[in-house]
Structure 1
Amino acid sequence: MMSGGNVTFVKDFFIVGFPGLHPSYYGLVSAAMFVVYLCISIGNGIFLFLFATEKSLHKPVYYCFLSLVISDILFSTSTLPKAIARYWFQAGSISFLGCFVQMFLVHYLGTVNSFIMALMSIDRYVAVCNPLRYHTIMTNRNVLILSLVAWVLAYPSNLSMAIRAFPLPYCGANTILHCYCDHISITRLACTDRAPYSLPAFAFAMVVLLGPLAIIIFSYCCIVVEVMRISSTGGRFKTLSTCTSQLIIISLYFLPRCFNYLAANIGITFNTDLQITIVIMYSMLPPMINPLIYCLRTQEIKKILIRKSQSNKVSFP
């Protein structure tokens, strides 16, 4: 802390993590987080390697997933190492500026994910509902442009949210009751009325969450209607199976978030440890499972993995 007259101002923050966790479980929690980070890095890294080395994967749907993979790697890298250090080395301190940078990345990358998932649903909508024009509309170039728009569009609003929160007077406690810095956990420490800052942030969060979700719901409602027009049961199943992977990813991302926001607004309260656990699960589970879903449920990627593993066996008898 540094003194300023009769007021002391925070110069760094301390990430508490799970406030009710007994120290005897610190090693277990840090090990679990390390395994999660390792799975995210390896799983998403494998997809990046396959995408870079296999031109057959240079298709619109995989360009969408590429943005998701990059966002997931950046998100986990910006949050998990510090959370692991908190329990592994009892090094929970983070600089004032570092906390705000982490806050910006958390919300920015979360916004990017929402936009990219909406783009993925549009890709499936065009593929199922307008298949004859799919290769005209959803070209690699168009998907790359739309992906870039998602990354650029998410930037200014999240940056302004961080800039508005940065100069607030932080003159009280410096403990972040979370495993990483986010807007709520930081601004609640400010020695001022939070309403002018928290209400716009909440409204923006709702737009970012519900806007893409509305696009996703509309896209898949149209897909279901189109599928119902297919006469054969086998044709229906085959068409729906092309959307299953994305539906799993979207469900893992949006449903827990919607539940969390809904619970907060209808008065359902959880203890702090359970609330943090829910946030960590919906933040880290999708990045860990997404590559598995795409690799295990997509025939094209499975064939590439089998071919590469067989060629390695031949090369190294």
Structure 2
Amino acid sequence: MITNFTRMSTFTILGFPGLTSQYFGPVSGLFFLIYLAIAAGNIFLLFIVIYEKPLQKPTYLVFCHLALNDLTFGTVTLPKIISKYWFDDSIISFYGCFVQMFFVHYLGSVTSFILLVMALDRFIAICIPLRYPVLVTNNIISLLCGLAWFIPLPLMVAVILHVLTLPFCKSNVIAQCYCDHIAITSQACGEDVRIVAVTSLCVAMFCLLLPLSFILFSYVSIIAIILKMSNATGRRKTLSTCTPQIFITCVFYLPRCFVYVANTVGFSFSTDVRILLILLYSLFPPAVNPIIYCFKTQDIKQILLKRLHKTKIGIERTF
């Protein structure tokens, strides 16, 4: 039992351990550009769905919830690491670190459940299309997305409170670009650390694998339906309606699965590479999702082209 420990008042965000000071400016600039991309892309998507009435349909409401989640995630994680490399401000308060950890894992779990709602929307639209107008309405989608935000909430609060019971007697340095569960618990000591780790892993598997199992089932069913279609044009058109959702789901899950499988089979990464991989699967989806929406969704693409055409005509008339 650990009895001699001091409650830490702050943590230090280390970022990339192998990064020399001459690269701090470019790295902070890169993170800033990534944040601008996340903020601009997702705010634009929210704006266009709210502003354009033809887009106020169940599918695009799900996109809005995902965009809000991505925007929040970028806002929670990036400003601190930008501040670390830009202003040499790497200190975060003890409870501030736990708040950041909560949002990192909570928002990741919410994303998983929103992707489940997205898959359900496409499953009903393609597999039982005659029931779609009854089963999938704006109100029902709003309720399901509300559940996606609510279900992980008590689970993540319980995880955070469980970690807070641990004594922290090691270094206060967080070997990561933001506070996450592994980085924080690695600084704890005592017999309960393993119990906390196993409990948190079970919660993480519930929030990731339960939605993933239905997502896989739904898209396999969708592909089976598409392959049975005799009309090639119908196959392409039907597949195009769920292509954005499949891309978004793959971008979220595949890098995570790669890292987990690599760790399971004993393939180890250096600390810098591990941090880079985590950042890629954490920040890449929020940055590219709006691009996928705009270029792979026919309704949004047509509205953007129409607006662009009107703007071009207006400019020509001015001159």
TM-score range, shorter chain: over 0.9
Name 1:308's counterpart in structure 2: 307
Runs of 4+ more than 6 Å apart: none
Name 1:177's counterpart in structure 2: 175
**TM-score, with length taken from structure 1:** 0.95
Name 2:259's counterpart in structure 1: 260
Name 1:35's counterpart in structure 2: 33
In the alignment, structure 2 segments of 5+ residues that lack a partner are none
Name 2:227's counterpart in structure 1: 228
Q: Does residue 272 of structure 1 match 2:271?
A: yes
Q: Distance in 2 between matches of 1:63 and 1:264?
A: 36
Q: Distance in 2 between matches of 1:227 and 1:53?
A: 33
Q: Distance in 1 between matches of 2:120 and 2:57?
A: 15
Indicate the percent of aligned positions where both proteins have the same amino acid: 45
Name 1:99's counterpart in structure 2: 97
Cα distance, 1:313 vs. partner?
Answer: 4.6
8 Å CA contact 1:8–1:172 kept in 2: the answer is: no
8 Å CA contact 1:15–1:179 kept in 2: the answer is: yes
> For 1:170, what is the secondary structure of its paired residue?
coil
8 Å CA contact 2:65–2:145 kept in 1: the answer is: yes
Q: Deviations over 1:6-57 (max 9, x none)?
A: 6433110000011111111111111111110000100111111111111111
8 Å CA contact 1:230–1:236 kept in 2: the answer is: yes
> For 1:94, what is the secondary structure of its paired residue?
strand
Alignment of 1:1-317 (within 5 A): 7-193=5-191, 194-313=193-312, 317=318
For the aligned residue pairs, the C-alpha RMSD in angstroms reads 1.4
Q: Distance in 2 between matches of 1:314 and 1:11?
A: 60
The residue type paired with residue 200 of structure 1 is: T
Q: Distance in 1 between matches of 2:245 and 2:66?
A: 12
Q: Distance in 2 between matches of 1:160 and 1:31?
A: 36
8 Å CA contact 1:17–1:177 kept in 2: the answer is: yes
Q: Deviations over 1:227-275 (max 9, x none)?
A: 1221112211111111111111100000111111122222111001001
8 Å CA contact 1:118–1:213 kept in 2: the answer is: yes
How many residues align? The count is 313
The residue type paired with residue 191 of structure 1 is: C
